[in-house]
Chains A and B, each alone.
Chain A
Amino acid sequence: MILRLVRLLLVLLVVTFLSYLLLNLLPGDPTTQILGLSASEEAREQLRRELSLDDPLFTRYLAWLGELVAGDLGTSYTTSVPVTEALAERLPVTLELLVAAQLVALGLALPIGVAAARRAGRPLDQVLTALSFGLLSTPVFVLGVLLILVFAVKWQVLPATGWTPISLDLGWNLTSVLLPAVTLGCAQTAVYARLLRTDLIATLQEDYITLARARGLSPRRILWRHALRPSAISLVTAVGLNLGALIGGAVIIETLFGLPGVGRLIVDSIFARDYLTVQGGVVLISVGYVLVNFAVDLVYVAVDPRIRRA
């Protein structure tokens, strides 16, 4: 446990340091990049002091880290809004999208994986496996475009873009999150279903499953009570590990569907040359990702009694 915490801290340090380094990637004079060519020499001088650009890199990083811990990521020079505030406003949208996408992915993967595993090698399994493979090979923006084409343009049953917050109207909120969540969740569905299938097939060959059959328990009971739980544990890990891919996908989905989330904020800020906001968004996402993975590790320990006391 202590080892895990040390590792967590180490990873967090590296992640934040790399995020901080991003500013140093700016070609030429960062003040020109941030303030633009027309900025006065005094304004640049002031920014130079604010960012302590004349100090050594590591000193600057530590100072920045101190402010980060205090919740201060600076104030955007383009919008004059504190970065933390801008992010806090956008975060709920991204979180809802991620949770909805995971729900879609797990909700579809569970029946698909179970059905394929129970009929391993037979036609249904082969069709489902091929389908999963195809889904895995579909870039998320391609899938999104196709779904918009079908559901928003052709059938006009779901909105292509736009967002209604939960606080305004739950029904509309769900309508606006449905298509993005399905798009984002579909690729994960394939990942989870394949994993569940493989794992379940292996579990179904275990001695304790054969013995459960020898005790005259029904196939349904064996599947749900005996086989699915050990396999679900691998699924929990996969859910955590796939969060990285999901966050990357969320950036695209938010842009594609016009959702006001953190990803969209980052992309917009890139084009507005609002570098502090971009940096803040990257810090938020990477730190969040690392923390969620850590949490998944803990959940894994909680669900699997084999390693609970190990």
Chain B
Amino acid sequence: MRRRLGWGFWLALGWIALVLAGAAAADLLPLPRYDETLAGPPQSGPGPDHPFGTDGLGRDVLSRVVYGARVSLGVGVGAVVLGLLIGAPLGVLAGYRRRATDAVIMGFNDVALAFPALVFALAVVAFAGASLVNVLIVLGVLGVPAWVRLVRGATMVFSEREFVAAARVLGARDRTVLWREIVPNVSLPVASYAFIGMAVAIVAEGSLAFLGLSVQAPTPTWGGLINEGRPLMENAPHVVLVPSVVMFLTVLAFNLLGDRLRALTDVRQSGLEPVRRRRADRLPAQPHHVEEGVLLQVADLRTHFTTVRGTVRAVDGVSFTLERGRTLAIVGESGSGKSMLIRSILGLAPDAGTLRGGSVYLDGQDLTELDGEQLRRILGTRLAAVFQDPMTALNPVRTIGAQVMEPLTVHLGMKRGAARARAAELLASVGIPEPARALRRYPHQLSGGMRQRVTIAMALSCGPDVLFADEPTTALDVTVQDQVLRLIRRQREERHMAVVLVSHDLSVVAEWADEVIVMYAGKVVERGPAATLFERTRMPYTEALLRAVPKLTDPAHHPLRLLPGRPPDLAAPPSGCAFHPRCPYARERCTQEEPPLFQAEVPDHLYACWYPVGTGAGVVETSGISGTAEALKAAETTGADETTDAIEGADSRGR
């Protein structure tokens, strides 16, 4: 992807070109010489003869600044070139050879970095004499450690890339590999740092000159000019201001060039970062009725992100209901929108560039209508969440106790002592041995399984009505997985709460869930009671997921059966049914029309497919017919009781 350098880059480049040209052509410019005294009246301000005024001896300030640029830029460029000449070969060597060579070079480098550079430069110049050559050498050499580190890092990155490995395998000699493959790739970070290095060297030379320890008078230097102008500050501030501003602009310009170039090498941007919007827009939602006596109702929930590449429909019209004591499982591949659905329900989806729609009702109260404070009260006490990775779910620098006690003191208003006792009880209830001791420990001192127990204890601390568990066992050992799931089920039964379990592991779902939702590209593609859904699968995607489940009969280290094809690009989803490019049964119609949710023969079993599996509809020749009525007809030909019914969210939202 091409990225722009921005106008700042060109402005900075223009300024540096101007200063460079002025310094190079100083003798040709219509300026008084820098050392010509009484070129004008002393200490006179800017005027037509002297655009930047004159100094205490009546010398032209502009001329002195222009000539001073020779030393500043000369040292800046020279020191960088010198540092690069010494540092780059060492860095490439260390990064490419690794092992002993690397250890020795980096050992020296670390020691060298342990020096206060400017003080050493000062001392060396003081002892060896203040001259252009000495200043240049000292600043160049002091820059070497930074160059070694940078070039080594860049070399390491590229020498691990495929094309370099390939070249090596093909028997290319090291030198050839270095010149052809590594040097061109390392040059962009080097160029970026070269500009920053020049800024550093110019400031360092300026500092020495300011102290009177750089090139000696009468040759003007910027630092020297600033020092000279100090005593005149009261009567003729321009004498000190002009070189100060010029120096500032030049250093800023070099830093900017380096910064913009470095931004070019920054590969973290994918084009899917949310774009900020002026205000949070709300997406229109389908009309729905609020069901009574239902604990949790999600109605046509949508979360879209505006990105550079287009709108990403991460959650797109999801509806379901959940009652106390039940477990609802949400399954689908990574990137199907499961986790974002959970975050959207809890109001935790990122703010930036987000469009929301639909509602979440808890006992009939719409959570999406609440303000931050009201929502927080409900989040802390009635809804709770457990995430996939227990390694990142706990704050690494706070004790377990501080973290478990926090919701108790914040939401339940417990005193510290009571909260501590309750926290210990909670930890004991999730099976953590020696809970009082565990409270004093830090997360890294516990195993993954223990940490997940802690996060569950925290989630349960205020007695929630619904527990959202986002792949709670994926990051755990198989033996621990079962314990954690048992724990969640026992808590569900004891507390009579509802559980929303996100998983991509269908064997887990089959064992633990009452109802199942299958998601694909942010949408519900099949939904129903667990047993029905697995026995009478209708959606080919669900069928493919079921086939991908590893079996005990698989040989050890057998590669996982993967679904064919790639998950869809959410910024540009396929037309019609989003699954059609990967679907073995896809027909013409699937590529054009998005299937609504149809009602299957078992109550509450819904699927979004024109040619559902196991009904015969898939094999009926239906080319040429289109529309819901035809699908209904096709479905009716296979099952007597089948009533096909497009329900909520089933309008043609496809493209």
Chain A positions within 8 Å of B, measured between CB atoms, are 7, 10-11, 14-15, 18-19, 22-23, 25-27, 121-122, 133-134, 136-142, 145-146, 148-149, 153, 206-208, 210-219, 221, 225-226, 229-230, 233, 243-245, 247-249, 251-252, 255-256, 266-267, 270-271, 275, 278-279, 282, 285-286, 289-290, 293, 303-306, 309
Contacts and interface: CB of A to CB of B under 8 A. Distances in A.
A213 B393 contact: no
B215 interface: no
Interface string B389-415: 100111111100000001100110000
B116 A286 contact: yes
B455 interface: yes
Contacts of B120: 18, 282, 286
Chain B interface secondary structure, helix, strand, loop or mixed? helix
A208 B395 contact: yes
Contacts of B346: 214
B199 interface: yes
A121 B350 CA distance: 14
B119 interface: yes
Contact of B129 (A27, A145, A148): A27
Given A226-B395, A251-B118, A306-B396, A213 B233 contact: no
Interface in B92-135: 110-111, 114-120, 122-124, 126-129
Interface in B346-387: 346, 348, 352, 372, 375-381, 383-385, 387
Interface stretch (B158-166, B240-248, B541-549): B240-248
Interface residues on B, range: 35 or more
A270 B213 contact: yes
Interface string B425-457: 000000000000000001011000000000100
A251 B123 CA distance: 12
Contacts of A218: 376
Interface string B205-222: 011001111000000000
Contacts of A256: 210, 230
Contacts of B459: 215
B378 A137 contact: no
Contact of B122 (A7, A133, A251): A251
B124 A266 contact: no
Given A145-B240, A305-B442, A270 B126 contact: yes
Given A25-B128, A270-B213, A248 B199 contact: no
A271 B213 CA distance: 9
A294 B445 CA distance: 26
Interface in B139-191: none
Contacts of A122: 276
B207 A141 contact: yes
Given A213-B348, A279-B123, 14 more contacts: A22-B123, A137-B252, A138-B248, A139-B203, A141-B207, A207-B392, A208-B393, A214-B383, A215-B384, A216-B410, A226-B395, A230-B397, A248-B207, A278-B123
Contact of A207 (B126, B393, B445): B393
A211 B455 contact: yes
Contacts of B117: 244, 248
B211 A121 contact: no
A217 B123 contact: no
A244 B120 CA distance: 11
B301 interface: no
29 contacts: A22-B124, A25-B127, A137-B199, A141-B223, A142-B248, A145-B230, A145-B233, A145-B240, A149-B241, A207-B387, A208-B394, A208-B396, A210-B343, A215-B379, A217-B407, A217-B410, A225-B406, A244-B116, A248-B118, A248-B207, A252-B211, A256-B210, A278-B127, A282-B120, A286-B116, A289-B116, A293-B114, A306-B442, A309-B445
A216 B348 contact: no
Interface string B228-270: 0110011001001100100110011001100100000000000
A211 B442 contact: no
Contact of A133 (B207, B255, B407): B255
B506 interface: no
A22 B395 CA distance: 50
A227 to B, nearest CB: 9
Given A14-B111, A214-B385, A271-B212, A306 B410 contact: no
B207 A252 contact: yes
Interface centre among B115, B227, B276, B389 (most CB of A within 10 A): B115
Interface in B623-641: none
Q: Chain A's interface: helix, strand, loop or mixed, by majority? A: helix
A152 B124 CA distance: 34
- Which of A148, A215, A221 has the largest count of B CB atoms less than 10 A from its CB? A215
B458 interface: yes
Interface string B328-346: 0000000000000001001
Contacts of A304: 397
Contact of A282 (B123, B348, B387): B123
Contact of A208 (B122, B248, B380, B392): B392
A217 B233 contact: no
A286 B115 contact: yes
B606 interface: no
B226 interface: yes
Contact of A285 (B116, B252, B377): B116
Nearest to A233: B397
Contact of B233 (A141, A149, A271, A305): A149
B285 to A, nearest CB: 24
A212 B398 CA distance: 13
Contact of B396 (A139, A149, A212, A305): A305
Contacts of B226: 141-142, 145
Given A146-B244, A289-B116, A214 B251 contact: no
A216 B378 contact: yes
A217 B398 CA distance: 16
Contacts of B230: 145, 256
A153 B223 contact: no
Most central of A140, A225, A248 by chain B CB within 10 Å? A248
B251 A137 contact: yes
Nearest to B240: A145
A211 B251 contact: no
A111 to B, nearest CB: 21
A25 B256 CA distance: 37
Nearest to B121: A248
A22 B383 CA distance: 69
A216 B372 CA distance: 9
A244 B123 contact: no
A244 B442 CA distance: 34
Given A207-B389, A306-B396, A244 B115 contact: yes
B255 A221 contact: no
Contacts of A278: 123, 126-127
A111 B95 CA distance: 39
**Most chain-A CB neighbours within 10 Å: which of B122, B223, B346, B376?**
B122
Contacts of B407: 215-217
B575 to A, nearest CB: 33
Q: Which of A219, A244, A255: most chain B Cβ within 10 A?
A: A244
A279 B122 CA distance: 11
A84 B467 CA distance: 69
Of A26, A146, A214, chain B has the most CB atoms within 10 Å of the CB of A214
A141 to B, nearest CB: 5
Nearest to B203: A139
A223 to B, nearest CB: 13
